[in-house]
A and B are shown apart, each in its own frame.
Chain A
């Protein structure tokens, strides 16, 4: 079956630091890949997505590239802000109506 593995948190950074959150997946075929973000007290919302190999998703300064050869979709941001503090979920959708989510990585950014 499908699975998503993402690095455990919390990830603690100072403002303006570089962020990487690793995500690898196992799936048959060619899934679509997603990053969702959950701010405190809220539901998840889409941050970015990529639907085929070598696609790069980007939004709000965050980027992730769909790497089929390494089955990865790592999330990066060049300079984090305190407002980026949230939980980040990597997910895939392989055409079965049911997405598969990672367990989430908490990001804490200090001023």
Chain B
């Protein structure tokens, strides 16, 4: 199993450009998440999905859109990139275990720089 994979690993954008980050998981997990990690800020949830065709806003959703057309994929889009979106982006997935705690499985991250 590859687990959670993210594409691309690195990207440099100019202000105003758009891009899509792809997250894929092969564990048949229902839940998927996008986080951003910035120095001193820990992890902040951008958007999440509790199943195919569903998405919801997290703590910092402005400037991002997401789609979950297939259960195994969760896409994060930036329509008009801004320097404030320079960050490391992590995707995660989890499976619902009501009595066992929902462990999050993380991808390796995408390092995005917006100039």
Chain A residues in the interface with B (C-beta under 8 A) = 32-34, 36, 42-46, 49-51, 89, 91, 93, 95, 97-99, 101-104
The reply to whether A34 and B48 form a contact with Cβ atoms under 8 Å apart is no
Chain B residues in the interface with A (C-beta under 8 A) = 4, 31, 40-43, 45, 48, 50, 58, 90, 92, 96, 98-109
The reply to whether B99 and A43 form a contact with Cβ atoms under 8 Å apart is no
Per CB-CB distance, the 7 closest pairs between chain A and chain B, nearest first, are A32-B101, A43-B106, A103-B42, A51-B101, A44-B106, A101-B43, A46-B103
Name A's interface SS: strand
Q: Which of A32, A33, A44, A102 has the most CB of B within 10 A?
A: A44
Name B's interface SS: loop
The reply to whether A44 and B101 form a contact with Cβ atoms under 8 Å apart is no
Residues of chain B contacted by A104 (CB below 8 angstroms)? 42-43
